């Protein structure tokens, strides 16, 4: 089974979109349902930093694994989650659409769960799709 995946095209320069997306502690500014996102441990943009996210879905703690400004990607892992899943790793990427000056953004994850299809639907429909829609509107 393929893991959760969503993508969109944003009508803004990839550098501008990436400058916003790479801020690991700003999830509450663009992801619907997130009431707070705070850096708990570590430097805000250094791999290893941990953020705590509170919202309608409960409390999540996530660790930034990689931040690559050249490739415009970040990868993170979930340390604590109310969802029944393990070994969650996700990547966000912002790539330039060279013929239009827009940005292609994708968000995808892998994880282990007893009911992976159910969790993948929750993440895709409840997090990734609304998050990318919100990000697109922010720059639209």
Question: CA distances (Å), 116 to each of 3, 47, 113, 120, 121, in order?
Answer: 8, 27, 5, 6, 9
- Based on the structure, what is the number of domains in the chain? 1
pTM over 0.85: yes
Give me the count of residues in the chain: 140
Q: What is the pLDDT along the chain (140 residues), one digit of tens a residue?
A: 579 999 999 999 999 999 999 999 999 999 999 999 999 988 888 999 999 999 988 999 999 999 999 999 999 999 999 999 999 999 999 999 999 999 999 999 999 999 999 999 999 999 999 999 999 999 98
- Domain of 26 in residue numbering reads as 5-139
For residue 113, the domain's CATH number is 3.30.530.20
Indicate the helix (H) or strand (E) that contains 70. Answer: none
């Amino acid at each position: 089974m393929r893991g959760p995946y969503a993508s969109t095209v944003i009508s803004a320069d990839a550098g501008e979109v990436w400058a916003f997306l790479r801020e690991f502690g700003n999830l509450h500014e663009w992801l619907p349902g997130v009431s707070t996102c705070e850096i708990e441990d570590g430097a805000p943009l250094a791999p290893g930093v941990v953020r705590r996210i509170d919202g309608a879905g409960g409390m999540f703690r996530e660790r930034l694994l990689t931040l690559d400004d050249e490739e415009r990607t970040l990868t993170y892992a979930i340390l604590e989650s109310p969802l029944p899943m393990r070994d969650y790793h996700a990547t966000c990427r912002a790539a330039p659409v060279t013929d239009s000056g827009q940005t292609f953004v994708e968000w995808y994850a892998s994880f282990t769960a007893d009911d992976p299809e159910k969790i993948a639907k929750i993440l895709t429909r409840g997090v990734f799709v609304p998050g990318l829609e919100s990000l697109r509107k922010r720059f639209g």
